[in-house]
Amino acid sequence: MLRFVKRDEISKRKSAVIRIAAVVLALLVSAIFLSLMNLDPVKVYNSMIKGAFGSSYSFRETITKAIPLCIAALGIAVAFKMQFWNIGGEGQILMGAFAASIFGLFTPNIPKPLLLLVMAAAAIIGGSLWALLPAIFKSKWGTNETIVTLMMNYIALKWVTYLKYGPWKDPKSLGFAKIAPFQKNALLPKVLGINIGWIIAIVLIILIYIFMNYTKKGYEIAVLGESENTARYSGVNIRKTIIISILLSGGLCGLVGMIQVSGVSGVLSENVSGNVGFTAIIISWLGSLSAPIIAVVSFLFAALVRGAANIQGIPQAVADVLQAMILFFVLGSEFFIRFKIEKKAGAGV
């Protein structure tokens, strides 16, 4: 005899308490699960902390994992703010990596600063164009962008796979299907032992925050997300706003592809996205579509992934279950932030 009622408003303090309670509950339930597996929860949690922050190397690796998550989540958040459900981050990352690789592989001898700028611009354009098709379909015919963007992920994946087995196959790979690695000139430089993507991420966090909160176009995107009729009555150009926001969303995801291929892997492959596009969807929601919060959530999520992957003495499947359990409780807390439980009227009669 209970029902869920949407909250009109909730204080920041109460929402913080709910999130903290979710994390504590997740750790307690996970501890029970680990105990049933004859594992010491304290040792496992300690190993996770050491895996994420236990050394300068671990900390750098955590930051490296947080960079693509943060930038991709910023891009996804721009589209989600307008209630354009961009589920195509994976494909946009792959096409951004592909576009950057055209110059990284075939024009490696131009000056490094210029080459990296051209690769970044190509990646942004590649990701934007890959997002443009569902944006046009949505603005002109009202198609379901969730399905279109999702399906385009697989087209991008198969395209990169085709390149690896076909025209871009490295003749020096001794018969193995792989694309030639980038030359040193096409690799992102490192600052403090981490690829320069972390500086790019910080700049983008600031720019996206300003864009979404202090510019006319950011306001129009937010209004369109609240109500299309209100946006139309306010004089917002619906089609133009949809296209601009999705181009920005796809461009940021495409830039992630360049950072991953040039700053992390050094070679184009179908695994270069590493499920970042899908994970960014979760992070953008947990970050309440706010750039500063997304930055914090990205770092914490990267720490969770890094820590779970470095637990010693347990099967990887157990580490994955532990990671998923913590994520499940954290996501569940968002429901209770938005809704409250009430008794139905007359339930006790």
pTM comes to 0.88
pLDDT mean over 239-263: 92
Residues 305 and 327 in one domain: no
pLDDT mean over 240-250: 89
Q: Tens digit of pLDDT for each residue in 30-62?
A: 889 888 888 888 888 888 888 888 889 989 999
User: How far, CA to CA in Å, does 265 sit from each of 32, 101, 182, 262, 270?
Assistant: 38, 12, 9, 7, 11
- Note down the domain range covering 17: 1-39+314-349
Residues 146 and 102 in one domain: yes
Q: Tens digit of pLDDT for each residue in 171-210?
A: 887 778 889 889 889 999 999 889 999 999 999 999 999 9
pLDDT mean over 238-264: 91
Residue 336 in any domain: the answer is: yes
For residue 349, pLDDT beyond 50? no
Residues 127 and 147 in one domain: yes
Tell me which of 4-18, 61-75, 252-266, 273-287 is least confident. Answer: 4-18
Residues 135 and 152 in one domain: yes
Number of domains present in the structure of the chain: 2
In angstroms, how far is CA 120 from the centroid of its own chain?
Answer: 18
Q: Tens digit of pLDDT for each residue in 163-173?
A: 999 899 888 87
For residue 16, pLDDT beyond 60? yes
| Closest-CA residue to 240 (of 136, 157, 333) | 136
Task: Find the CATH number of the domain harbouring 268.
Answer: 1.10.3470
pLDDT mean over 288-292: 88
248 pairs with which residues across the strands?
A: none
Q: Can you state the angle between helices 89-106 and 112-141, rounded to 10 degrees?
A: 150
